[in-house]
Structures are given as C-alpha cells and as structure tokens.
A and B are shown apart, each in its own frame.
Chain A
Amino acid sequence: MIRFIIKRLLMMIPVLLGVTLVVFTIMYFTPGDPAQIILGDMATEEDRELFREEHGLNGSFVEQYINYMKRVIVEGDLGTSYTTKMSVTKEIVARFPTTFKLAGVSILIACIIGIVAGVISATRQYSVFDHVATGISLIGVSLPNFWQGMMNIIVFSVWLGWFPPSGFSTPKHWVLPAITIGTSSAANIMRMTRSSMLEVIRQDYIRTARSKGQKEGVVIRRHALRNALIPIITVVGLNFGKLLGGAVLTESIFSIAGIGKLMVDAIKAKNTPLVQGGVLFIAVVMCFVNLIVDILYAFVDPKIRSQYMAPRRTAYKGKEETNG
C-alpha cells in the first residue's frame, strides 16, 4: 500500500511540472507589462525597471521559467502578489479554509441527496419517482450555477428573506452558496448512482441474496450498494476536487473570499505570481483528492486492495487495465 502511494506521489511530479509550464506560458504571452499595470502611469522608467528586477521579469522566457521553478522548488517560495504585496502562499492559505468549508458542506449535501435519490430511482426503475428524479437531475447538470445563485438570492433572500444574500460568516450564510454549488454535484452523483446500481441489481448474486430470504433493505445496502460504490466514489472525488478548486463564479456572486474569487481577480489583474501559485495549488489539491479516491477503492473493493498489496501483479494488471 505504501509503495503504491509513493509511486503515485512520484507520478504527480511530471504532471505538476507540466501545469506550471502551461500556466507560465499562457501568462507570459498575456499582453500588458505587469510593471506598467501595477505601478501605474506615474511611475518612472527606473521604478519599472526596479519592479521587473525584483519580480524576476527580465530575461528570456526560458530564463524566467527556470528562475521561477528554482524559487518554487528550492525555497518553496511562490512569489509575491503584485497587488497586495503579500506572499502568494499566505494569500492562498488565508483563503483556502473558506473554500474547503464550502466544498465540504456542498459535497456532503450532494452525497446524501444524490446517493439516496439514485438508489431509490434504481430500485424502482421507471416509477414516477424515477422519472421525476432523473428529470430533475438532468436539469441540475444543465443549470448554469452562477444563474442559479442569482435566482436563489432573489427568491430566498430578497423575496422570502430566509437567508442572507452574501458573506460566509455563520452557518446561515452557508446555505445558499452550498445549495448553489452542490446542485450539479448532487445531480452527477445521482445519475452515476442510478446507472451503477442498475447494473449491479441485475447480477446473479443479488437474485441469490433475495432468494435466500434476505430482507430487501439489506440486499440493497449490503449487496448492491457496496458493489456499486466504485463509480460513485469516482464521481464524488471528481466533484469534490472541482469544488476545492474554487467555485469560481459562485464565490463572486455571494462575495465569498475563497480561492475561486481570488483566482478570477488575479487573472483579470494579470497578477502572474498569484495565478501561477493558485493554479499549482489547485492542481496539487486535485492530485491528492484523486490519490485519496484510489486509496478508498482499496477499502471498498478487496480485489483492488490485493492489487495494491502485490506490486508485481499490479504492474501487469494496471497496464492491461489502461489498455482496455
């Protein structure tokens, strides 16, 4: 197991290097001189030169990239934000708890609603509940969440006055943003749960379990759901990773100071160090979520666990799997 985790951690390195290169390239070719943008028109040429010197903006593309990576890897320094003059690491660390809380609450609600609705839909395929639930879930994946956020504010905050329209200080503030962000995840989880359960329910061992007189609830929970969990965990992981990357637009609508809003503002202001640091951070978080998902597989499915445990067979089987 530990070998597997170490291998996966090592595999993250080239991906993360690639991410920095892609973001660096895009930001490098973004028009506009940061010295000009940040210092304004009043600054002299000397001031601008000093600014460039300070932030390592002189030299060719390759030199700049190597310098940046040296600082990141050797000193663990992601640079200084142009606008606030704070270190990028500090800015991200300050914002992350908010995003994490929001993502956590949203995914929790989404899991409960999605899995319960998906299981009921699958066990009563083609019933009224199934039709309504699949219809709603398809609407859920089609909703632009920034618009849903606006409509939630109009209905629940302006018209009904139940919840505050912005901010993130008390649990009451969490409700609208969490619903807004959680909707599409709930819909995704529901759809995946339904189709995965439907596949499992048709298996012979479910019929066996039923025919030996097992209660329906136990059949569904212990025999069917357990075996349908792998794709559900995958979808939950994917959605959680996405939410941790910041609900970019929703955070802006509810004026929540999270990672998403930070990134939107940084890209608009051409705040290169913050964009690079932020995207790198999000990529790291996503890689870790994927790793946790893979480890969870092992807990749910003994077959996968045995693959992780026996490294020699893993290599062969893993290869075969990716080919298929």
Chain B
Amino acid sequence: MAEQEIIVKKKSQFRDVLHRFLKNKAAVISLFFILLLIICAIFPEQIAPYSYSQQNYSETFISPCLAHPFGTDNYGRDILSRVIYGTRISIGIGLVAVALSCVFGIVIGAAAGFYGSTTDNIIMRIIDIMLAIPSILLMMAIVTALGNGAVNLTIAIAISSVPGYARIVRASVMTEKELEYIEAARSSGATDLKIIMRHILPNCLAPIIVQATMSIATAILSIASLSFVGLGISPPTPEWGSMLNDAQSFMRDHWFVVTFPGLMIMLTVFAFNLLGDGLRDALDPKLKT
C-alpha cells in the first residue's frame, strides 16, 4: 500500500513538471529544434544534398539559390551540406564534453559540499585558481599542449567547465545535507556514499539538469571559438567555427559564406539556452521570475 502511494506521487510530480514544461511554447519549439539537430548529426548523409567535401571549381561563391540555399564556398562546396555535417562535431563534442564535466563536477562538488572543512577548502581553492584563468585561454593552452583533434578538444572543454558544476553541486549538497531526512538515513546506518548517491544527489538534480543544458550551449560556443582560431578541428572536417575561419578572408565580397554557419551556431546556442530556461521554470517554479 505504502509502495503504491509512493509510485503514484512520483508519477504526478513528473506529470507536473511535464505539464509546466509543455506550457512554455518557446522551450518546446527549441526542444524540437534540438531534436532536429541531433537527427542531422546522426544521419547527415541522408539529409545533406551534397557531400561536405565535394569540390566544384566552376561553382565557387554562388549566392544562395534553389540548388544551394546557403550558397557555395571558395572551393565550390555546398555550404548547407557543410553546415548539416557540422552538427556532428558541435552536438557530438558538446554532449560528450558536458557529460564528462558533469560527472567530474558532481564528484568534486559533492565531496566538497558533503565533507566540508579541509576537503572543501582544498577543492574550492583549486576551483578559484581555475576560475582566475580566462576559460578561453585555458582551453586554448590545453588544446595546444595536447594537440589538435576532436578528443583533445572534448577534454579541454570538459576540464574548463568542471568548476561551474562543482560550485552548483556543492551549494545544493550543503543545503541538502543539513536536512532531517539525511540525519534519519545516517541513523539507519547508511554509508556516506549511499547517502550521497541515494538521498542527496537525487534531490539536487534540478539545478544540475539546468546547468547541463546551459553548459551545452557554452560548450558549442567554445568549440566554435577554438576552431575559429585554428585549434581543435582540422579541415576538411566541417565545423561551424572553422568554416567561419576559412571564410573570413572572403566575407567582404560574399556575405553568405560567414552568415549561415554563424547563424547556425547562434540558433543552436539560443535553443539550448531557451530549453535550459524552460527546464528551470518547469523543475523549480519557485525560481520563475
């Protein structure tokens, strides 16, 4: 009987959140846009009209038209196709980097928040140090040290976004661990690990989910910025930032070569930010302003 009640309650809470989320039209639209991007990232061959590397020197710098809706670049490659293939890098690396930093951030933040005193002090000072270095410079230095490539780019972005998670998790764990049910769990003989994993973290999920969504947006911006300075993804792999870098010298004569890749970055980041806002309002209506 008691078990049944709990299940019913859980379901209704999820429904509550879902209901609040669905009422936010902007967030729902951005969720669909993100799903579309994920489909593009998984099946670019089926969706893109041309191959990303197919060069055609008789068709360079064609303005947007029916055959090439986003125009063509200096090698006569179709920009729309390259933009579609570019989702693989931005979405792929963005998701993996955020997952990595999320895990590390949660571990570090939970340890700092739960154990407090010396552990907290040491961890927070290290985080202060990382925050004192501008993240773009930190990422650039890490990629330079490790070498170009998708994996190293992911590592650099993951490392530089760990402090954000750690701080948020630490703050939530600190408030949560003082509550009575934690004391109850402890008195029933639960270990620290069990208390953190089973009791504290599930109750801190809302801010973590919101932070994760927002930091995918930041990660996508970082990937583009690093590729723009020539670090990270090497040509001819299409990536939005490196497309902008390649096109920079032609932008004065051909506006479309830089407009569309940049627009895609903006729309994607915008969608993740909107989704994050929507999730925050749905998960924690108290925060809604």
Contact = CB atoms under 8 A, between A and B. Distances in A.
B229 interface: yes
B213 to A, nearest CB: 13
Interface in B246-289: 248, 251-252, 255, 258-259, 261-262, 265-266, 269-270, 273-274, 277, 289
Interface in B102-148: 116, 125-126, 128-130, 132-134, 136-137, 140-142, 144-145, 147
Given A30-B145, A146-B225, A15 B266 contact: no
Contacts, number: 126
B52 interface: no
Contacts of B158: none
Contacts of B142: 26
Given A138-B270, A143-B266, A144-B262, A19 B141 contact: no
Contacts of A19: 129, 132-133
B258 A26 contact: no
B140 A158 contact: no
* Contact size range, B: 35 or more
A324 B126 CA distance: 20
Given A138-B273, A252-B229, A279-B133, A153 B244 contact: no
Interface in B194-245: 217, 221, 224-225, 228-230, 241, 244
A23 B136 contact: no
B255 to A, nearest CB: 5
Contacts of A141: 273
A18 B225 contact: no
* Contact size range, A: 35 or more
Nearest to A199: B289
Interface stretch (A51-59, A173-181, A262-270, A308-316): A262-270
B265 A144 contact: yes
A146 B265 CA distance: 11
A169 interface: no
A246 interface: yes
B259 A151 contact: yes
Contacts of A16: 132
A164 B190 CA distance: 67
Contacts of A252: 229
A23 B133 contact: yes
Nearest to A263: B137
B174 interface: yes
Going nearest first, the 7 A-B pairs with the smallest beta carbon separation are A147-B262, A18-B129, A142-B270, A142-B269, A30-B145, A245-B134, A283-B132
Interface of B: 116, 125-126, 128-130, 132-134, 136-137, 140-142, 144-145, 147, 174-175, 217, 221, 224-225, 228-230, 241, 244, 248, 251-252, 255, 258-259, 261-262, 265-266, 269-270, 273-274, 277, 289
